[in-house]
Amino acid sequence: MAKGYWVSVYRVIKDTEKLAAYNELARVAVQAGGGRLLSLDGRVTPYEHGVAERTILIEFDSFEQAVATRESAAYQEALAALDDAVERDFRVVEGLG
């Protein structure tokens, strides 16, 4: 079964307090969904139109698990806390078999 990944690249952080509240709630939601944090604020070398900002990579045992966690009530609560505090590119990606 192919793994699933959350890839999130933050272009702009407008409110660090809201982001901190989101981080705590999202951490709990991700752990409950079986996610494993692989990268948090590590070094980034952007190419083409990329940005060298905060980048998060989280691995799940399956793509379906990654999507289900994103849609979970716990993660929706985290998103509500985040509100408009950031501009980011967030996607769920299926890994290779």
Q: What is the mean pLDDT of the chain?
A: 95
What is each CA distance from 18 to 29, 52, 68, 89, in whole angstroms?
A: 16, 21, 24, 17
Averaged pLDDT, 5-21: 96
- Is the pLDDT assigned to residue 64 strictly greater than 90? yes
Segment 65-74 shows an average pLDDT of 98
Domains in the chain, start-ordered, CATH in brackets? 4-94 (3.30.70.100)
28-59 pLDDT, tens digit per residue, is 999 999 999 999 988 889 899 888 888 999 99
pTM for the full predicted model:
0.92
Distances (CA, A) of 55 to 1, 11, 18, 61: 25, 9, 17, 20
CA distance 27 to 37: 9
Residue 78 confidence (pLDDT): 98
The arithmetic mean of pLDDT across residues 66-72, rounded, is: 98
